[in-house]
C-alpha cells in the first residue's frame, strides 16, 4: 500500500503548433518529481492543449474546470502545476476562481509549483509569487503586441500579405499571398447553388452526396457552408480583424472589418457574391422560405388593400393533390395558386423572351443611379458632420448638449462608413467583366427543368410585386425589378431614405 498522499496535476500549452513537441511531458516529469519529493502521488492528470491563458480565464478552460470538479468530489490533498505561466496569464483569475474556491470548500488541499526549489506551499500572497504572476502576464502581453505589430506591418505594406494563419478554403498560401487551388471550383459551385436559393443545409447535403470532402477532410455541415459563403477572400479581398473579440467569433459589421481590396486572384465574381448575399439578406429580413412551391409568397399582393397575400393550403385530408389559395388577410378575397402561378409563369416567359439585353441595360443604369444617390447623400452627410463638429468646438457647452453632438457625429460617421462600403460594392459590380453572365439564366424557357426552389428564386430575383385586382376575371399586373441584386434595393433605400420606387420600395405586409 502506497504511503504517498493523493494529488492531481495541471498542465497547459497555448499554441496548437506546440502539439507533439513534448511540452506536456516535460511539465509532467517535473511535477511527478516535485510531488514525490514532497510525499505525494499524482492520481489524476488534467491538461489544456492549445488553450491560451491570456485569452481565457482559468474557469473558462475545460481542463482546469475538470480539475476543480475532481478535487472537490474526490480524495485529493494537493494540486501541482509546473509554474505560474501554466495556470494564468491574467494575474488574478486563477487565485480568485480556483485557489479561493478550493480553499473555501476543501481548506486542507495544498497547492505546489514544481518550479519552486523549497517544500513550501504555493502562496499567492507571497511577494515573489505575485511578482512571477505579473511577469507571466507581461510576457504574454509583450508577445501579443509583437504579433499584432507584425500583422499590421504585413497588412499595411504596399503589397499587403496575409499574416501567418490557415488559408481560406479554395486557396493555398505562398509567402503571405493566396492562390486558388484545386478546391476553387467547389467554392464556385457552392456560390452557384446559393445563387439559386439553396440553403446551407441543402448545399452541404449535395456535397456530401457527391462525396466531396469538407475543408477539414470530413463531411460538410451548414456552418462550414456559411463560412465559405461569407469569406471575402473569395472576392480577392484580404480581411482582418473580422471577429468581434478574441472570445466572440461572431463577425463584425462590414464597415468595421479591415478590408484590403483586390490583393489576390478571386474565385467569385462580384455579381455572384451580390446575388447570393442579396438572397440571404431577403430570407433573413423578411423571413421568407425558398424551399416552397408557394412561389409567390411575399410577392403577390392585393391591389385594393395594398397588403401581401397569404398562401393557404385548403387541401382535404383525403386529397391526393394540394389545393392552395392566395388570400388577402384584409378583404378575404382569394385566388387559386395554380391559376396565379400559370399566369405569372407565362407572363414572365413572354416578357423576358428576347428582352434580356434590355433588362441588363436597365440594371447598369440603375447601378449608376444608385452611385449618384450615394454620392449626394455622402456630400450631405459630410456637410452635416462639419456643422456638428463646429458646434461641438464653438464654445463652452453643457454636458447634455455636448453629448448630443457626439451622438450625432457617431451616427453620421456610421452612415458615411456604410456608404463607403456600398460605393465600393457598386463600383466592383459595374466593373465586373462577368456582369452579363448574371442575366444568362434569365432567358426564354428558363422555368423548364427547374426545381421548386429554383423557380422560387428566379421569381424573387426578377419580380418585385405581383398585383392582383380581384374581379371576374381577376386582373394580374407584374412589376419587375430593374436589377436581380435584391439585397442592394433595401440597403441603399435604408441609407438614402428615399421613397423612389426604383430604390426598393416594397409592398407592406400584414
Pairing outcome for strands 5-13 and 40-49: parallel
Percent share of the chain, pLDDT over 90:
28
What is the pLDDT averaged over residues 235-246?
59
Determine the topology of domain 171-268 in CATH: Hect, E3 ligase catalytic domain fold (3.90.1750)
Which stretches of 124-199 are DSSP H helices? 127-155, 184-195
pLDDT at 224: 92
CATH number of 5-142: 3.40.50.1390
Helix (H, G, I), strand (E, B) or coil at 41: strand
pLDDT-derived band of residue 421, with 50, 70 and 90 as boundaries? confident
pLDDT at 70: 95
For residue 432, the tally of other CB atoms under 10 A from its CB is 17
| Between 338 and 156, residue with greater pLDDT | 338
Domain layout of the chain by residue ranges: 5-142, 171-268, 300-354+441-503, 356-437
Bridge partner list, 44: 8
What is the pLDDT averaged over residues 287-312?
91
253 contacts: CB under 8 Å, gap ≥ 6:
none
What is the pLDDT averaged over residues 266-285?
87
| Between 56 and 188, residue with greater pLDDT | 188
For residue 243, is pLDDT > 70? no
pLDDT at 194: 93
The alpha carbon dihedral of 282, 286, 289, 294 has a sign of negative
Which run of H or E residues covers position 112?
strand 110-113
What is the pLDDT averaged over residues 95-121?
87
Q: Residue 41 CA to chain centroid, in angstroms? A: 48
The rounded distance, in Å, linking the Cα atoms of 51 and 13 is: 6
Asked if residue 183 lies in contact with residue 137, where contact means CB atoms within 8 angstroms, the answer is no
Percentage helix, strand, coil for the chain under 3-state DSSP, each rounded to 5: 50, 15, 35
For residue 240, is pLDDT > 90? no
Asked if residue 274 lies in contact with residue 424, where contact means CB atoms within 8 angstroms, the answer is no
Nearest to 475 by CA among 353, 344, 363: 344
Percent share of the chain, pLDDT over 70:
79
pLDDT-derived band of residue 137, with 50, 70 and 90 as boundaries? low
pLDDT at 46: 93
pLDDT at 239: 60
pLDDT at 507: 39
Asked if residue 57 lies in contact with residue 137, where contact means CB atoms within 8 angstroms, the answer is no
For residue 185, is pLDDT > 70? yes
For residue 466, the tally of other CB atoms under 10 A from its CB is 25
For residue 93, is pLDDT > 90? no
Least confident range from 174-188, 347-361, 496-510: namely 496-510
**What φ, ψ does residue 352 adopt, rounded to 5°?**
-90, -15
The rounded distance, in Å, linking the Cα atoms of 273 and 477 is: 30
| Between 158 and 229, residue with greater pLDDT | 229
Digit-coded pLDDT (tens) for 197-237: 999 999 999 999 999 999 988 899 999 999 899 888 888 87
What is the pLDDT averaged over residues 56-61?
86
The rounded distance, in Å, linking the Cα atoms of 166 and 231 is: 13
Q: Which three cell numbers stand for residue 405?
A: 453632438
For residue 154, is pLDDT > 60? no
For residue 40, the tally of other CB atoms under 10 A from its CB is 24
Bridge partner list, 41: 6
The rounded distance, in Å, linking the Cα atoms of 272 and 440 is: 12
Mean pLDDT (the chain, rounded):
80
What is the Cα Rg of the chain in Å?
Answer: 31
What is the pLDDT averaged over residues 292-303?
92
Bridge partner list, 487: none
pLDDT at 246: 47
For residue 420, is pLDDT > 80? yes
Asked if residue 323 lies in contact with residue 313, where contact means CB atoms within 8 angstroms, the answer is yes
The rounded distance, in Å, linking the Cα atoms of 272 and 432 is: 10
pLDDT at 2: 63
For residue 437, is pLDDT > 70? no
| Half-sphere exposure for 496 (CA within 13 Å, toward CB) | 26
pLDDT-derived band of residue 65, with 50, 70 and 90 as boundaries? very high
Nearest to 113 by CA among 96, 132, 127: 132
For residue 160, is pLDDT > 60? no
Amino acid at each position: 500500500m502506497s504511503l504517498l498522499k493523493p494529488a492531481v496535476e495541471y498542465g497547459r500549452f497555448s499554441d496548437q503548433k506546440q502539439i507533439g513537441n513534448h511540452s506536456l511531458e516535460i511539465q509532467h516529469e517535473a511535477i511527478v518529481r516535485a510531488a514525490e519529493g514532497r510525499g505525494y502521488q499524482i492520481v489524476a492528470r488534467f491538461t489544456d492543449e492549445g488553450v491560451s491563458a491570456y485569452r481565457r480565464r482559468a474557469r473558462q478552460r475545460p481542463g482546469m474546470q475538470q480539475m476543480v470538479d475532481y478535487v472537490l468530489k474526490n480524495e485529493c490533498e494537493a494540486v501541482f502545476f509546473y509554474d505560474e505561466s501554466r495556470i494564468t496569464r491574467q494575474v488574478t483569475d486563477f487565485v480568485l476562481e480556483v485557489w479561493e474556491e478550493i480553499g473555501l470548500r476543501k481548506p486542507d488541499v495544498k497547492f505546489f509549483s514544481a518550479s519552486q526549489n523549497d517544500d513550501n506551499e504555493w502562496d499567492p500572497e507571497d511577494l515573489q509569487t505575485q511578482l512571477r504572476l505579473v511577469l507571466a502576464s507581461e510576457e504574454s502581453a509583450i508577445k501579443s503586441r509583437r504579433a499584432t505589430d507584425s500583422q499590421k506591418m504585413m497588412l499595411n505594406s504596399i503589397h499587403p500579405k496575409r499574416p501567418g494563419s490557415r488559408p481560406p478554403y479554395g486557396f493555398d498560401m505562398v509567402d503571405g499571398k493566396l492562390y486558388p487551388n484545386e478546391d476553387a471550383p467547389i467554392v464556385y459551385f457552392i456560390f452557384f447553388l446559393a445563387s439559386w436559393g439553396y440553403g446551407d443545409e441543402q448545399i452541404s447535403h449535395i456535397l456530401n452526396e457527391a462525396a466531396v470532402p469538407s475543408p477539414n477532410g470530413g463531411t460538410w455541415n451548414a456552418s462550414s457552408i456559411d463560412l465559405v459563403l461569407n469569406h471575402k477572400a473569395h472576392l480577392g479581398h484580404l480581411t482582418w480583424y473580422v471577429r468581434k473579440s478574441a472570445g466572440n467569433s461572431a463577425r463584425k459589421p462590414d464597415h468595421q472589418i479591415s478590408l484590403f481590396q483586390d490583393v489576390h486572384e478571386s474565385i467569385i465574381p462580384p455579381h455572384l457574391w451580390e446575388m447570393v448575399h442579396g438572397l440571404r439578406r431577403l430570407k433573413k429580413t423578411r423571413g421568407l422560405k425558398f424551399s416552397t412551391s408557394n412561389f409567390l409568397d411575399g410577392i403577390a399582393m392585393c391591389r385594393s388593400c395594398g397588403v401581401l397575400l397569404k398562401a393557404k393550403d385548403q387541401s382535404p385530408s383525403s386529397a391526393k393533390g394540394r389545393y392552395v389559395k392566395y388570400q388577402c388577410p384584409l378583404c378575404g378575397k382569394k385566388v387559386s395558386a395554380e391559376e396565379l402561378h400559370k399566369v405569372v409563369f407565362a407572363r414572365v416567359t413572354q416578357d423576358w423572351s428576347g428582352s434580356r439585353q434590355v433588362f441588363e441595360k436597365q440594371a447598369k443604369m440603375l447601378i449608376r443611379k444608385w452611385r449618384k444617390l450615394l454620392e449626394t447623400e455622402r456630400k450631405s452627410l459630410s456637410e452635416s458632420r462639419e456643422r456638428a463638429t463646429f458646434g461641438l468646438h464653438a464654445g463652452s457647452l453643457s454636458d447634455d448638449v455636448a453629448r448630443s453632438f457626439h451622438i450625432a457625429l457617431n451616427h453620421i460617421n456610421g452612415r458615411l462608413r456604410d456608404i463607403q462600403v456600398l460605393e465600393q460594392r457598386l463600383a466592383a459590380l459595374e466593373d465586373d467583366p462577368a456582369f452579363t453572365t448574371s442575366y444568362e439564366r434569365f432567358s426564354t424557357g428558363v422555368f423548364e427543368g427547374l426545381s421548386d426552389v429554383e423557380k422560387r428564386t428566379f421569381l424573387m430575383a426578377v419580380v418585385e410585386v405581383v398585383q392582383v385586382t380581384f374581379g371576374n376575371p381577376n386582373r394580374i399586373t407584374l412589376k419587375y425589378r430593374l436589377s436581380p441584386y435584391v439585397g442592394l434595393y433595401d440597403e441603399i433605400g435604408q441609407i438614402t431614405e428615399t421613397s423612389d420606387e426604383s430604390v426598393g420600395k416594397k409592398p407592406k405586409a400584414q
